[in-house]
Structures are given as structure tokens and as C-alpha cells.
Chains A and B, each alone.
Chain A
């Protein structure tokens, strides 16, 4: 990269005319050189930025596959085309991957030669003092000795002391020509700036690799747990599970959790009607066993406070109500008893309920309806929920009997009742209206002696996301390294300084030593002048007793 820009290197390149006869190896080398140019990196970075944008314009499968399906259904002509161009999977698309892979190949091609070059520079000595220090962008002179007749140090002494002082200031030094008439010292500091740059770029690569490891070996699963119930981390116990490409089920961490209780807090500030009733806090109390036979431990789970069991993380991502019901069938036997998980659909937790009772005899039973946490009914109208808390819980159900269609072997959505082969018993639209169960009416009989429903209690449930991402910690460490490297690279200055001492006599004939020094920065350095002043200060304190004076430069001193 930088090498490719120096004039010497450019001359070494073959003239363009020879390009067609390069042959395959030559072509590859040419391509490599193009790829590892700084301007290529820059353009690739811009391309990456542009390529990332469509991901925010179109729904993405990584986030919401249902939304993508809906989008394609809504745009039957455009949708499939967008899909073919992978615009719904931007971040795993060929074109996006191509850009970042090229970028990182370019990065490797950049950083390795640069690291080698820097390693060599580190081992070699600071370059020889230039003939004319005065040509450097910062140039100063001081006189040592002569005040009150005090003699200055000899040039060699002066250079040795200056070198020691520079070394203390963090410069690496290389004294030259000691003992001659014009000894000097070459000094350099800030070698670590370049180390920072290399660390930064390498660590970015490490971040990418860590993310890749995570998506190969990690997994992600969901589970709903009702109060009192528990979850064991095995494949069968998950409601849904997304493994990484190379995931191995044996690597599942054998812990289990039980939900002791869940509590939601709502905004009760009546002076703020707009936000009244909004949730302000969610808290779940769990007991965790890190493995079979381990001691159970009480833990507390909140929205921003996941549980970490040996690197497997458990997040609280949802919650809702699970009314406990007992269903008796036409033969009077209990066909179902237990909590039913409902799905909240609005801010007052009006939740939709679906219950399938395949064990009911002689006909299977199905229910669909709503749970209203705080039901308020006005004359002649269906009750509505007015608050998310459980002040007056009520169930509003339609009931069906017949064949639930579960025996066909096809997987069904537990939250959707397929009414195709069912007979409606009660419903909103039918003459007899929906079943209404609340504190006063605990039990309802189904018409036609099909059975009864009993509303026993309401429990709470939590939705847990369980993740394991082996790339998380490496990615984090790589980021820390990248960040440190970035700061080193941007805010450390790399400078060279040269100091040369020569002997003169001042106006009174006293032997003096003239100390000339100059500074040079790598790249932009707005504090180079300040550093020159610092060095002047350094000499002043070093030779205070030898009558050090600043030498006022006139224009002829400058080259």
C-alpha cells in the first residue's frame, strides 16, 4: 500500500504497454496489486456502506421471515424478483459477502507487508542525521556556555546528555559521529502508532472471524414457561429452535429453569393519561439448576438482565397471561386441565386464546376467544378490557366440536384453530352468543351436552429466548483490541528529531557549544511546534548552570 506509492516502487513497475503479455501469473499479481491499493479499500468501504442500505428498506428474513412472506404476497410481480436479487437476505447475499470478503482480503494484503515493513523499521536504527537540519519543518538552535564566562559542555558531551534526555522522553536514540567536530543524535518516537494501526486492522478481521464462528456453532431457541413450570435445555423441550450451520446437539448445556413468579409493573400516574397503563418494569423469579442433580439457585430475570449459565444466555423477551381452565367432555370426564398460553394483542393485554382438546369424547372440542384482564361490560355490549392488570379477568370464548384435524400428522400452529371440520357451538355471531366466564360465572355448559368449561385461575407466563454464541466473547475481545489500536493509531504522534552540536566562540571569545535541532513528523502533526518548544525547555533545564540561551534565528538560518 504505502510502498506502492513511493516513487521508487512506481518506477519498478512495468510500463503499461506490456500488460497484455503478462500471462496468468502476471495478471494475478496485477489484480492483487490493484486489490491491495488504498483507493480500492476506500471504494470497497463506500460500496459496503451503500450495499448495507437496502437491508433497511426491505424486510429481512434474519429479522422477520413472516414479514418477508407477507411482502412477497403483497407484491406478486416485484417480490420474487427482489427475492432473486437476495434483497430479503442482504447480509448473507452473494454481493454483500463479495464486497466484505474482498475488503478483508485487501486488508490482509495491506496489513501484512505493512507489518513486515514496520518490524524492519523497528529493528533498524533511526536514520542518519541530515546534512542540513535547518531544512526540517521545525528547527531551533540554542547556545550552551558563555554566560558569566562559564564554558559549555564539549559537543560530544552535549550530544550524549541530549541523547539521554531524549531517551527519557520516550525517544529511541542513535548517537552518531561522537568525538568528531559535529557529533549528533538521531531520535525517533511513536513507533507504536503504526503498531496501533496494524492491531486495529487485524482486530477488525478477528471481529469478522468471531462473528462467523458464532453463526456456525451457535444456536437460538424460544420457550414459553408458565408460572410453576420448568424448562430443560434439550432439543425436545424447545418451542422453536434455530441451530447454526455446524451445530451439534451434544453441545447443549444441560441446565434447567423453573419459573417461580412473574411480575409486571405498570405506570399508575393518573396525571399522565397518555402513558397511563404502560408497562414500566418486568421481573421474573426463577430457580436454576446448572445440571441434573445440581443445587437449585434462585435468580432474578429482568429485561436488560439476562441469565448466563456457562455462556448460554437466557433472556426475558415476552410475557402474558395463561388462564387455567378445566374442560369436561360430553361423557363428563376431565379432558383438559391446565394453563392455556394466550397472546397479548394490545396495550391492555387483551389476549387471544386458542385451546384444542383432542382427548374430548365423543367429539373433540376446540375453543377460540379472548382473555380480558380487566373486563368492563357496558349494557348490551361485549365486555372490553380497560387495564393490563388482573382486576376482573374474564374469558370470552367461541366453542367448536368435531375433528380438530390433528391426526393427519401435519404440524399445526397451536395458536390457530382450523375450523374447517368443526361445528360451531357458541360464537359472537351465532344466536346464543359467546361463552362468558369471569369471577361470578366460573363454569359454563356447552350446548347440546358436549361438555363444560371451568375458569379456575390466571397464571402468568414468560417468553424466554435461549442463545448460545461461542463467538461473542472473542468478538468482544477483538473489538477492545481494535478500539485500543484505533486510539493509539490516531492520537500518538510519530516524530523524528535530530540534534547536532558544534563548537564556536561567542562575542567575548568564550568557547560555546551550539546545539541545533530539528523535528519531522509522519503525516499531519499539529503539535510538532509544541514538541520543539518542549525540547528547548528540556535543554534549558539540562544546562541551566551552563548559561543556555536561545539563538534567535534570522531568515538566513532557514534553508
Chain B
């Protein structure tokens, strides 16, 4: 790695970063608009269905006694949101983590995240605009990050500006890739919002011109260690958003189950809390594996650079804290009394540690890792 710095390209990179940030802003607005309109449509549909059912029941009651049972089971099958009952029956019949022997029609749905599949009939123009724009924003953003790397003649993740902007790129990339497989447009407002915040942080709080690396950072471990760490953080960002939605959704479910009204109508466009929890767990497992790798790669790198693989440096402490919190989260899933809301809180706590590690520790704490260019 030499120190051939291309200033013109560096300037271009900064312009594209701004452009990408502006596009993300529009994406965010479009996603919020979609949430509003989509949940409204769902609300209307729900109302209509309820009216129809009421009317049908009145008619049935006149003609046929006992049809209510058929009616209600049909309604249950129609609702993807009946996952709560799955957890309840499963927990009652077998310890979680054991083989499940209870059959339930909706196990299939909850287990395979069917409610996260795209539905053909639902028309969501705003969401389409949002996703299309997000792809464009991602491309602009990718250009900005790659050109910065070329301008500095090294990987673009060696100071806070670059951690933030590259991290945001990864978040947006991970999100777009998962969108191909599953309909996660409901986390769109949160993900695009977080990406926007990261880009604003990069450009406003940590602006750094293109510069070469210090000797301690010149290692292929920088590429491996930091890229995996950033990827893990990207995944944790998305699961954080899902954990927040899960908490809100489970509150709403409880209210609805108690026959109360919920003011958070936009949650109609969000899957039920069990699906959220299960899907977030899949993503978090991948994130945890990445983080485990980050921890070890950091230790190997530290061994080469500083001659000890673990020395409780501030950054190492926080990497360890994040790892243990997520390890606790992994356990929570199979520990009685710790799944559901508590596991969502653990996921949020883990993410808070990631953010803390990334911002406060990098900037305010002294340590061997304070090369963040500030």
C-alpha cells in the first residue's frame, strides 16, 4: 500500500456521498408514506371483512346452528397473525428446544416465515418507489465508497468517516439483499432512517479528507477484521429495527387480544411479533457468527501488531461486551421465560453496545485503537 492519493477522486467521492444521503432522505419519506397508506388499506380491508363476517353470521345464525365454529376456524386460517397461539401450544406441550409434537396448521406459516413472503395482490406504489430509489441511492453510495478507497489507495474503512459511510453502505446492501427473498419493506422506514443518520454522522460529525494509513493499520487483517465487523454491525442494525417493531407489535397484540383499541395502526403492515422474533433470530445468528469471527480476527491481528492477543484494551473490552450480550441473546431463545419481549430487549441492548463501541469508544476513550483520525 503506497500513499498515492487522488484528491480529485476524493472530492468526487464526497459529492456522491451527499447525493446518496439526499436520495436516502427521499427513500425514507417514501417508506413512511407506504407504511401509512398500506396500513390504512389493511385497516379498511379488516373492517370490511369484519362487517362481512358479522353479516354472514347473522344470516347463518338464522339458517344453521353451530356454524360459528366453522366460521371462526376459517378466520383463524386466514390470518397470518395467529402465530402467538403456536408459541402457546408449543410451549405447553413440549419444552422449547425439544422436538415439537404438536401439529398446528399455522406452525407451517410461523416456522417458514410465510407471512414475510411477497403477496401478489397487494399493490403498494409508494413502497415500489422507495425500493427503486433505495437501489439508486445504494449505487451512488457504493460509488462514493469505492472511489474513496481508490482515491486513498487502500480499503475505505480506516477512520470514523469511513466506518460510518461504509457501515451505512453495508446496512443498505444487507437490507436490499434480504428484500429479494422476503418482504421486509415494513422495516424500510427504520433501516433507511438509520442509514441516513449514519451518513449524516459521517459527513457532519466526522468529516475526514482522504489520507493514507499509519503503519499499525497496514495489514490484510484490517481488511478482514474490519469488513466482517462492519457486516455484523449491518446485520445487527436490521435486527435492532425488527426488535423495536417486535416490542411495539407485541404490545399491540396484547391490547387487541384484550379487546382494546391500538393507536399504532401502522403496525398492521408489520408481521406478528413471533414471526419478527424468529426471523430476527436467524439474522442475529449470522451476525453473531460474524461477530465471533471479528473478535478472533482482532485477537490474531493484535497478536501480530502488538504482541499480545488479548490485553483488555478499551476497544477489546467493548467487542467482548457486545459478544457476551449477543451470546446471552442466543441463550434467551431457548431459556424459559426469556423469549418474546425479553429477547427483543437483549437484542436492543446488544445493538446499543455496538453503537457505543462504534461512536463513544472510538472518539472519547484513549486506547491503542484511537487511530480513528479525530
What residues make up the interface of A, taking CB atoms closer than 8 Å to B?
A: 2, 5-7, 38-39, 41-42, 45-46, 48-49, 52-53, 55-56, 60, 62-63, 90-91, 130, 134-139, 211, 220, 267, 269, 271-272, 274-275, 278-282, 302-306, 313, 315, 317, 465, 467, 469, 472, 475-476, 479, 482-483, 486-487, 490-491, 496, 520-530, 558-559
Contact = CB atoms under 8 A, between A and B. Distances in A.
Contact of A56 (B100, B215, B288, B317): B317
Given A45-B331, A134-B103, A304 B221 contact: yes
Given A49-B321, A136-B103, A304 B218 contact: yes
Contacts of B300: 476
B307 A467 contact: yes
Given A137-B111, A317-B307, 6 more contacts: A46-B328, A274-B209, A281-B218, A313-B307, A317-B306, A469-B309
A38 B311 contact: no
Interface string B249-286: 00000000000000000000000000000100110010
B111 A279 contact: no
B293 A483 contact: yes
Those 4 A-B pairs whose CB atoms lie nearest each other, nearest first: A135-B103, A49-B324, A315-B307, A45-B328
Among B100, B215, B301, the one with the most A-chain Cβ atoms within 10 Å of its Cβ is B215
A550 B64 CA distance: 35
Contacts of A476: 300
A38 B215 contact: no
B312 interface: yes
Given A45-B327, A281-B215, A526-B113, A315 B306 contact: yes
Contacts of A52: 317, 320-321, 324
B60 interface: no
Contacts of B305: 303-304
A523 B307 contact: no
B309 A269 contact: no
B339 to A, nearest CB: 10
B332 A42 contact: yes
A452 to B, nearest CB: 39
Given A42-B331, A282-B215, A522-B97, A269 B336 contact: no
B56 interface: no
Interface of B: 3, 5, 7, 95-105, 107-108, 111-113, 209, 211-216, 218-219, 221, 278, 281-282, 285, 288-289, 292-293, 296, 299-301, 303-314, 317-318, 320-321, 324-325, 327-328, 331-338, 353, 361, 365
5 contacts: A2-B97, A137-B103, A483-B293, A526-B111, A529-B111
Nearest to B332: A42
A275 B312 contact: no
B331 A529 contact: no
A149 to B, nearest CB: 36
Contact of B311 (A62, A302, A521, A525): A62
Contact of A529 (B108, B311, B333): B108
Nearest to A59: B366
Contacts of B218: 281, 303-304
Contacts of B281: 524
Contacts of B5: 269, 271-272
A200 to B, nearest CB: 10
B3 A475 contact: no
A528 B111 contact: yes
Among B3, B108, B209, B314, the one with the most A-chain Cβ atoms within 10 Å of its Cβ is B3
Nearest to B353: A49
Contact of B278 (A469, A520, A526, A558): A526
Nearest to B222: A304
Given A45-B327, A526-B282, A39 B215 contact: no
A63 B219 CA distance: 23
Contacts of A46: 324-325, 328
A240 to B, nearest CB: 14
A303 B306 CA distance: 8
B278 A524 contact: yes
A467 B308 contact: yes
A450 to B, nearest CB: 43
Nearest to A279: B215
Contact of B104 (A137, A272, A279, A483): A137
A521 B100 contact: yes
A279 B216 CA distance: 10
Contacts of B361: 56
A529 B109 CA distance: 10
A353 B135 CA distance: 60
Contacts of B111: 137, 521, 524-526, 528-529
A49 B319 CA distance: 10
Among A7, A306, A524, the one with the most B-chain Cβ atoms within 10 Å of its Cβ is A524
A465 B307 contact: yes
A212 to B, nearest CB: 12
Contacts of A521: 99-100, 111
Contacts of B285: 490-491
Contact of B337 (A39, A62, A90, A523): A39
B324 A280 contact: no
A526 B318 CA distance: 33
Nearest to B310: A211
A63 B316 CA distance: 12
Contacts of B304: 304-306
B28 to A, nearest CB: 29
A476 B309 CA distance: 10
A490 B306 CA distance: 33
Nearest to B314: A56
A469 B308 contact: yes
Contacts of B104: 137
A416 B299 CA distance: 35
B321 A53 contact: yes
